[in-house]
Chains A and B, each alone.
Chain A
């Protein structure tokens, strides 16, 4: 499969970077084609400016603000997000990437009247989230994993009906140990080797 791996963490030596490396290695070994999109390295600007917002509903693929990203999104069979969970959600940079890159005419079509929007990302067969959380598992479930839901339900609704989902989280990061992190990396490898 062609996998677009969207990675978002400001610190190059972070644990998320280790997850990214392990994921890329595992996926490449399994014969997948991995396209890495490193948002911090690109210096992606997540704030949607006024003019983009004004034309958002009428936006067409031809005037997409990030044609390169649009093309890579269209070429992908699977999407994998690797990021730290901050305030139970996506880092602002990743949230802004969804806001500015997942535009009408590329990922969905707005109907003229009432009714749901029409999904256009139907070529995506797998949507995955691999993350780290400061909070414990029970509290993350109580707050209901807003970040996970944004991607695995909100964005998932723009993909095909048969699109599979994958979710993994290392909870209580602040109490993590070298052992817990190694175990998590091994679990990531095992899980990704199966896709």
Chain B
């Protein structure tokens, strides 16, 4: 499969970055064609500009500023996201990647003012993430990133495509044991792609 791996963490020595490297290596070893987007390494600018916002609904030009990312997204058959949850959401650099790349004509169409998801080239989604807070606390807050994956992204990709959401909570209290256990879960999920 052609797998697009998107990563968003600034520190290369972080646990999250090692999950990312592990994912890429594992997918290559399993024989997939892997395309890698490391947003921090790319120096991606997540801020939607005034011109982009004004051209947002113009399908002729809206993808121009991010065309390379759009092409790679549309070529992917599976999507793997590896990022930390900060403040119950995506790091800004990843949120901006959705804002600027998941455009009308790319991930959805507007038919009579109604949204029609169109990212049907993606038939598998895996999210690998880490939280500072506990699962209970995140649940109390409504766990926005989990819902984005399970509802919004699920509705955007191919209907019925499996969505797997793996999260290591309470990173500040993590131990070698919890991290290794989590890595095994991630490996198993990667092997199912």
A95: chain B residues within 8 A (beta carbon): 87, 89-92, 95
B48 touches A10 (CB 8 A): yes
Say which residue of A90, A102, A116, A149 sits within 8 Å of B95 (CB atoms): A90
Q: How far is the CB of B125 from chain A (nearest CB, A)?
A: 15
- Say whether A61 faces chain B, with CB atoms less than 8 Å apart: no
A160: chain B residues within 8 A (beta carbon): none
B89: chain A residues within 8 A (beta carbon): 89-90, 95, 98, 146, 150, 154
Q: Which of A41-73 contact B (CB under 8 A)?
A: 46-50, 52-54, 57
A142 vs B142: C-alpha distance when bound (angstroms)? 12
Number of cross-chain contacts by CB at 8 Å: 146
Q: How far is the CB of B53 from chain A (nearest CB, A)?
A: 5
| 20 CB < 8 A contacts A-B | A10-B52, A10-B53, A11-B50, A40-B50, A53-B14, A57-B172, A86-B99, A87-B98, A90-B89, A91-B95, A91-B96, A92-B48, A96-B46, A96-B95, A98-B87, A99-B92, A145-B142, A149-B88, A150-B144, A154-B87
Interface residues of A (CB under 8 A from B): 9-12, 14, 40, 46-50, 52-54, 57, 86-93, 95-96, 98-99, 102, 110, 113-114, 116-117, 134-135, 139, 142-147, 149-150, 153-155, 157, 172, 174-175
Q: Name 4 extra pairs, CB < 8 A, besides A90-B95, A95-B90, A153-B88.
A: A98-B89, A142-B151, A143-B152, A150-B141
A52 vs B14: C-alpha distance when bound (angstroms)? 13
A149 vs B137: C-alpha distance when bound (angstroms)? 13
B98 touches A146 (CB 8 A): no
Most central of A54, A86, A117, A134 by chain B CB within 10 Å: A86
- Say whether B68 faces chain A, with CB atoms less than 8 Å apart: no
A154 touches B147 (CB 8 A): no
When C-beta atoms are compared, the residue in chain A nearest to B144 turns out to be A146
When C-beta atoms are compared, the residue in chain A nearest to B156 turns out to be A87
Closest 8 CB pairs of A and B: A92-B96, A96-B92, A146-B144, A92-B46, A46-B92, A154-B88, A149-B142, A50-B10
Say which residue of B88, B91, B113 sits within 8 Å of A174 (CB atoms): B113
A49: chain B residues within 8 A (beta carbon): 10
When C-beta atoms are compared, the residue in chain B nearest to A111 turns out to be B172
A93 touches B47 (CB 8 A): yes
Q: How far is the CB of A169 from chain B (nearest CB, A)?
A: 15
A139 vs B114: C-alpha distance when bound (angstroms)? 11
Interface residues of B (CB under 8 A from A): 9-12, 14, 40, 45-50, 52-54, 57, 86-93, 95-96, 98-99, 102, 110, 113, 115, 133, 137, 140-142, 144-145, 147-148, 151-152, 172-173
A150 touches B99 (CB 8 A): no
Q: How far is the CB of A140 from chain B (nearest CB, A)?
A: 10
Q: How far is the CB of A72 from chain B (nearest CB, A)?
A: 19
Query: If the complex has contacts A92-B93, A95-B92, are A146 and B54 also in contact, measured as CB distance less than 8 A?
Result: no
A143 touches B11 (CB 8 A): no
A48 touches B92 (CB 8 A): yes
When C-beta atoms are compared, the residue in chain A nearest to B100 turns out to be A92
A97 vs B170: C-alpha distance when bound (angstroms)? 23
Q: How far is the CB of B153 from chain A (nearest CB, A)?
A: 10
B148: chain A residues within 8 A (beta carbon): 87-89, 143, 146
B45: chain A residues within 8 A (beta carbon): 47
Query: If the complex has contacts A135-B115, A143-B152, A144-B144, are A92 and B87 also in contact, measured as CB distance less than 8 A?
Result: no
